[in-house]
DNA sequence: CTATATTAGTTTCATTCGTAACTAATTGCA
DNA sequence: TGCAATTAGTTACGAATGAAACTAATATAG
């Protein structure tokens, strides 16, 4: 019979949320180091570019959805990308509030350069796992992503 | 034959680092929501308490090691915890720079109250997994934590 | 010894981030 | 129509963060 951890102490090194946080930060930082300096690109900016590179002509709100960023973060990243000429913005004729965002030529160029860097790091990680381990990892992530953590927050 | 993703686009939703980041942030945020308001405790403060609760009389540098926080973050968290009376600090007689940190009575009380909240969230997650899945998850985390992401940075 | 280098921890400063308030455009409904 | 409610995106502001400079204490080399 397996007993659940019910001690009066908590060991961070075995605490799932802590381990995920440290691991995730380490990976994100490593990847960002791979493009931040070279392309003067922050992580939120790269996320916006990553989405628009695969699916152009989204509104800021749609970008926010797909990146799990909040709309303020998207707004800021979009504006920096506009200033640096990596993004083009139009506004929808039907709804003059809604922006229509797409990578500029320059933005696409950078996008194509950063992708292999990002995928390279991912491979560096995934290559350490066997094929069945990769499949399990993906299936575990799917499950974990589905979990409802809050009581309810309509 | 399984082909590796070698496309000219990147789908964030399938990109491991992105998925880990979103998942980890969601979990950390949920847990922090469970104690921040109730105990006026930020995540870095809680991490410091969590370490000292299980292993008292550490120096700030040792706390930094064990929490994967940097020394500035530890210094700030420690000072806020001192102000709120949750931590006691002495200085080592052999080395008057080195602090010796431990939870105060009040700190221990809070520590004992927060632990079940934190573990509760962890269980909420782990309970969705089968026993073999949990084992695989732990073994995958062990492997991923071992990966060396940087070329070399002496 | 004494000058230099190193270490522990703090402070400073510039940037980032999140929340809330705001503006402008659109929708809905009376 | 016309006015309240909603939506897209921005701005403002305080808190959190990170890097670098700093202070005090200790270790080390000559």
Q: Looking at the domain assignment, is residue B42 inside a domain?
A: yes
B114 Cα to chain A: minimum distance (Å): 10
B53 Cα to chain A: minimum distance (Å): 7
Q: Looking at the domain assignment, is residue A82 inside a domain?
A: yes
Q: What is the pLDDT of residues B91-112, one digit of tens each?
A: 999 999 999 999 999 999 999 9
Nucleotide nearest to B93 (CA to C1'): D25
pLDDT for A125 equals 93
A16-20, A39-43, B35-39, B53-57: least confident range: B35-39
Q: Looking at the domain assignment, is residue A79 inside a domain?
A: yes
Burial of A134 (0-12, 13-18, 19+ CB in 10 A): middle
pLDDT for B44 equals 96
Q: Looking at the domain assignment, is residue B95 inside a domain?
A: yes
Asked if residue A99 lies in contact with residue A60, where contact means CB atoms within 8 angstroms, the answer is: yes
pLDDT for A152 equals 41
Nucleotide nearest to B45 (CA to C1'): D16
Inform me whether the pLDDT recorded for A51 exceeds 50.
Answer: yes
* Domain hosting residue A131, numbered range: 40-135
Helix residue ranges, H only, chain A: 16-39, 43-54, 60-67, 71-83, 105-126, 131-146
Query: Out of A5, A17, A115, whose CB is closest to B8?
Result: A115
Q: Looking at the domain assignment, is residue A2 inside a domain?
A: no
pLDDT for B118 equals 93
Closest CA to A66 of A78, A77, A76, A54: A54
CA closest to D20 C1', residue = B72
| Residue B134 at interface with chain A, using a CB cutoff of 8 Å | no
Could you tell me the CATH number of the domain that includes residue B116? Answer: 1.10.10.10
Q: Do B12 and A50 touch (CB under 8 A)?
A: yes
What is the full per-residue pLDDT of chain B (154 aa) written as tens digits?
Answer: 544 455 678 999 999 999 999 999 999 998 998 899 889 999 999 999 999 999 999 999 999 999 999 999 999 999 999 999 999 999 999 999 999 999 999 999 999 999 999 999 999 999 999 999 999 999 999 999 998 876 544 3
pLDDT for A147 equals 86
Rounded to a whole number of angstroms, the CA Rg of chain B reads 19
Q: How many domains does chain B have?
A: 1
Inform me whether the pLDDT recorded for A6 exceeds 60.
Answer: no
- Mean pLDDT across A8-19: 91
Q: Looking at the domain assignment, is residue B107 inside a domain?
A: yes
Q: What is the pLDDT of residues A56-99, one digit of tens each?
A: 999 999 999 999 999 999 999 999 999 999 999 999 999 999 99
Query: Out of B54, B119, B141, whose CB is closest to A19?
Result: B141
Q: Looking at the domain assignment, is residue B69 inside a domain?
A: yes
Q: Looking at the domain assignment, is residue A32 inside a domain?
A: no
Inform me whether the pLDDT recorded for A154 exceeds 50.
Answer: no
C1' of D1 to CA of A95 (Å): 21
How many CB atoms are located within 10 Å of the residue A27 CB?
Answer: 23
Tokens of A27: 């990976």
Q: Do A24 and B17 touch (CB under 8 A)?
A: yes
pLDDT range class, residue A20, cuts 50, 70, 90: very high
Inform me whether the pLDDT recorded for A151 exceeds 60.
Answer: no
**% of chain A exceeding 90 in pLDDT:** 84
Strand D bases contacted by the protein (CB, 7 Å) = 7-12, 16-20, 24-27
pLDDT range class, residue A3, cuts 50, 70, 90: very low
Chain B residues 86-105 within an 8 A CB cutoff of chain A: none
A10 Cα to chain B: minimum distance (Å): 7
- Rounded Cα distance, A41 and A52, in Å: 15
């Amino acid at each position: 019979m397996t007993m659940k951890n019910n001690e009066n102490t908590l060991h961070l090194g075995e605490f799932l949320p802590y381990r995920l946080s440290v691991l995730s930060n380490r990976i994100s930082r490593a990847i960002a180091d791979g493009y931040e300096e070279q392309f003067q690109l922050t992580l939120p900016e790269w996320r916006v570019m990553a989405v628009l590179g695969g699916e152009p002509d989204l509104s800021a709100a749609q970008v926010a959805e797909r990146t799990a960023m909040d709309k303020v973060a998207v707004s800021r990243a979009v504006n920096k990308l506009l200033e640096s000429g990596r993004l083009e913005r139009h506004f929808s004729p039907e709804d003059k509030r809604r922006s229509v965002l797409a990578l500029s030529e320059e933005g696409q160029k950078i996008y194509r350069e950063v992708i292999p860097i990002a995928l390279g790091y991912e491979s560096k990680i995934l290559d350490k796992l066997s094929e069945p381990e990769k499949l399990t990892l993906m299936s575990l992530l799917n499950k974990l992503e589905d979990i409802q953590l809050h009581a309810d927050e309509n």
